[in-house]
Structure 1
Amino acid sequence: MVDTDRLLNTLFALLEVDSPSFNEDKIGLFIEGLLKETGIHVIRQDYGDSFNLVGKYKNPNSPSPPLILSAHMDTIEPTVGIKYNIKDEKLSTKGDTVLGADDKSGVAAIIEVLRVIREHNIQTGDIEVVFTSAEERGIVGAKNLDYSLIEGRYAVVLDVSGAAGTIVKRAPTHHTYTMEIHGMSAHAGIEPEKGLNAIRIASEIIGRIPDGRLDEDTTANIGRITGGTATNVVPETVLIEGEVRSQSVEKLTNTKDTIFKTGRSVTKKYPGASIEIKENEEYRGYSIEEKDPFLTFLKGEFSKKGIEPIIITTGGGSDANVFNQRGIKAINIATGMEKVHSKEEYLDLKEFFKVAEVLLNIVINFKDFAESTP
């Protein structure tokens, strides 16, 4: 029942609207219009830096606990001037921008499912749609979502790479940190011996702390280094920005402790130097049990379409992390996008169309699942 031509055209229209994080006004207005065309009541929930869209469909003839469908509106950059082509049933750009299938493929699939339900007068349970903002900047929209607007306790999030049938059962806890190293400035040509080079201290710290893939559960990364003012000044201050992710809170804590202890011990070697460390929890991890009823239901819907479920653990976060933290059983499924966050990003259209078909069946059959699940 999914109209693949219409679905693709909707995706094209979404891709052509530039929507970097915290600048989702244009895409939000466009999506709001699409939702209203499907008969969805739309609430724009402003939270200061941006906004989320919450859509509600209530079936007066068959009320039931609502299923939440969710994707995010923003993309990473660059997307301005996007030009795309289709080759071997794969949608990609000409190479000057990212595609933005992350996560506009998820948005388009949800819109198409709602259209099919309306035009065929399909009887479903209640549906809630959550389109968040600034997901790419630390899941900001989901963190600022007004959860009093949401009644559903189950959510399908469409925001992970992979073929149709890819389902995330585990995602990590993610902490970010900064280490600000303070040395002493001096004229680099006249009296460098009176200075204390913060960049050298920072480089020693970076060379000694864990980095990359540490084990099957844990990764660490230094993402940014800023400091110094000019070549003729011994740099006084350097800021190191990094992160740690792990499926294990214990491993994450131990890795952070190692990083911070290393930073302090190296800095202590240099009289007059100091270090200031700050950390922040971006989101908490989650793990869905293999026999979880909702996971079993989703796997069954893919299997009915002849698609083998692929259950994965991911190192990335999504709105599903925050939803699960807020007591909503949220499971993230793939849309067919690949190589996201790069100019090589593409969308496998065969897989994308399969996902839309399965999502339609998930929405249709969720009412029976909800009524049979305690």
Structure 2
Amino acid sequence: MSTQRLVKTFCDLVSTGSETGHERAFCIELEKALIEAGFEVERDEEAGKKCGSDGFNIYGYLPGDGESVLLSCHTDTVTPGAAVTPVERDGVIYSDGTTILGSDDKSGIAEIIEAVARLKENGEKNRPVEVLFSLSEEVGMLGSRYADYSKIKSKTALVLDGEDIGEIVNSAAANIVMSFRFFGKTAHAGICPENGIHALKAAAYAIANIPVGHVDEISVQNISNFISEGATNIVADKASFDMEFRSYDEDTVQKHIADALAVMKEACEKFGTTFEYDSERHSGAFTVDPESQFIKDIFAAYEAAGIRPYLSKTLGGCDASNIALHDIAVVNIGTGMRDVHTTAENISIKDMEDSTRFLCELLKA
């Protein structure tokens, strides 16, 4: 039966470990499975080098009729995941309790492979399907960041890396991380503290005057890693801390960054210090119009499979954020995974079956 084949494919996939940075053995097995399913497959070893992984990104293409769609999952898992033994109990698949399971994100891969197999054996025509299976998602979505998007022709994409079946994440936040460093002047804190310029005090003032948490209805920000090492009898001449800014709107996140920089300047003027900073964008904000034909098609496919779809948004990051940067309308959908990143991770066979039936409807020509 096709459900048994789905379960076997999933268990075979999770049984080959692919902890971040050590994905090569899994990539080789996945490459074979895709070729067997009828995909034209291409490796991207350069992406592996950029990610610091021994694996490679995989691009696949399945010919078909009509408009193509991109499906994407990541190939790496968190630790401990080097030697997974899947165990089925009461219609739910777990690990043996000593490792994670790896349904994040191998459930999505198994569901894609099974959907393609079912369409073929039922004699149904499929639309063209592109796949991007990317490395090192768990450490900053690196594989999708370094993917070669010139290989991808689709203008719509689904990332299969969520939990609930029917959830469609069509809006995600920009995420920018900044590191701030304050500089003052040392002096003996007991003999001549007036000769010093206190970098720690300036940084502390800035931290105390920058809001954290939900700073408006669509944004959050946080401060961490406040460091100023030194002896208690020395005025601190260096201090540093990190900040993270997230917002569903790019203009809003830039405003919050500008507000934080204004506080830094105020702190420096108050205490006589200087400061510098570095900035790294982890993801960009994206939103797919709920009234777009793309979203309507996804809703129709879920409903045809007997599943209630709904839209949601996330302040977290996923590969969809990187894909969206390349003029591709993209959403993130659920595969059924539960309790991910723990040794209690599990997935129900029913949820995998439901997700596969949805994909069959979506991929029909």
Change in Cα spacing, 1:198 to 1:10, as seen in structure 2 (3 Å) is farther
Contact 1:196/1:235 (<8 A) preserved:
yes
- Partner Cα distance (2:98, 2:180) in 1: 34
Change in Cα spacing, 1:256 to 1:73, as seen in structure 2 (3 Å) is same
Where does 1:272-291 land on structure 2 (aligned, <5 Å)?
273-291=273-291
- Higher mean C-alpha displacement, 228-237 vs 106-115: 228-237
Alignment-derived partner of residue 157 in structure 2? 155
| Counterpart residue identity of residue 181, structure 2 | E
How far did residue 110 of structure 1 move? 1.6
How far did residue 312 of structure 1 move? 0.8
Alignment-derived partner of residue 336 in structure 1? 336
How far did residue 106 of structure 1 move? 1.5
Alignment-derived partner of residue 62 in structure 2? 57
Where does 1:197-346 land on structure 2 (aligned, <5 Å)?
198-199=199-200, 201-225=202-226, 228=229, 236-271=237-272, 273-341=273-341, 345-346=345-346
How far did residue 221 of structure 1 move? 2.1
Contact 1:172/1:315 (<8 A) preserved:
yes
Change in Cα spacing, 1:196 to 1:342, as seen in structure 2 (3 Å) is farther
Alignment-derived partner of residue 172 in structure 1? 173
1:326-365 deviation line (CA, Å, top 9, x unaligned): 122222211122444556644344323211221122112x
- Partner Cα distance (2:191, 2:94) in 1: 55
> Aligned with 2:359: secondary structure?
helix
Indicate yes or no: 2:43 matched with 1:41. no
1:98-138 deviation line (CA, Å, top 9, x unaligned): 44322222222222223334455542122211111222333
Indicate yes or no: 2:347 matched with 1:347. yes
Change in Cα spacing, 1:237 to 1:82, as seen in structure 2 (3 Å) is farther
Change in Cα spacing, 1:127 to 1:178, as seen in structure 2 (3 Å) is same
- Partner Cα distance (2:217, 2:239) in 1: 31
- Segments of structure 2 that go 5 or more residues without pairing to the other structure are none
| Counterpart residue identity of residue 276, structure 1 | E
| Counterpart residue identity of residue 33, structure 2 | L
- Higher mean C-alpha displacement, 291-300 vs 235-244: 235-244
Change in Cα spacing, 1:244 to 1:342, as seen in structure 2 (3 Å) is farther
Contact 2:105/2:161 (<8 A) preserved:
yes
| Counterpart residue identity of residue 247, structure 1 | Y
How far did residue 202 of structure 1 move? 3.6
- Partner Cα distance (1:42, 1:327) in 2: 23
How many residue pairs were aligned? 359
Alignment-derived partner of residue 138 in structure 1? 140
- Partner Cα distance (2:152, 2:194) in 1: 62
- Partner Cα distance (2:205, 2:349) in 1: 47
- Partner Cα distance (1:267, 1:13) in 2: 58
Task: Among all aligned residue pairs of Structure 1 and Structure 2, give the percentage whose two residues are the same amino acid.
Answer: 29
- Partner Cα distance (2:238, 2:180) in 1: 10
How far did residue 317 of structure 1 move? 2.5
- Partner Cα distance (1:56, 1:139) in 2: 22
Alignment-derived partner of residue 371 in structure 1? none
- Segments of structure 1 that go 5 or more residues without pairing to the other structure are 368-374
- Higher mean C-alpha displacement, 27-36 vs 85-94: 85-94
* CA RMSD, 1 decimal: 3.2
Contact 1:166/1:334 (<8 A) preserved:
yes
- Partner Cα distance (2:233, 2:288) in 1: 55
- Partner Cα distance (2:348, 2:325) in 1: 31
Structure 1 length-normalised TM: 0.83
- Partner Cα distance (2:236, 2:98) in 1: 36
Contact 1:302/1:309 (<8 A) preserved:
yes
How far did residue 234 of structure 1 move? 6.6
- Partner Cα distance (2:85, 2:240) in 1: 37
- Higher mean C-alpha displacement, 246-255 vs 92-101: 92-101
- Partner Cα distance (1:87, 1:180) in 2: 53
- Partner Cα distance (1:346, 1:208) in 2: 43
Change in Cα spacing, 1:129 to 1:229, as seen in structure 2 (3 Å) is farther
- Higher mean C-alpha displacement, 183-192 vs 128-137: 183-192
Contact 1:22/1:49 (<8 A) preserved:
no
- Partner Cα distance (1:297, 1:348) in 2: 26
| Counterpart residue identity of residue 317, structure 1 | G
- Higher mean C-alpha displacement, 299-308 vs 318-327: 318-327
> Aligned with 1:269: secondary structure?
helix
Contact 1:39/1:118 (<8 A) preserved:
no
- Higher mean C-alpha displacement, 286-295 vs 318-327: 318-327
- Higher mean C-alpha displacement, 87-96 vs 256-265: 87-96
> Aligned with 1:252: secondary structure?
helix
- Partner Cα distance (1:284, 1:245) in 2: 9
- Partner Cα distance (2:237, 2:348) in 1: 50
- Partner Cα distance (1:82, 1:205) in 2: 47
How far did residue 292 of structure 1 move? 0.9
Change in Cα spacing, 1:205 to 1:72, as seen in structure 2 (3 Å) is same
| Counterpart residue identity of residue 297, structure 1 | D
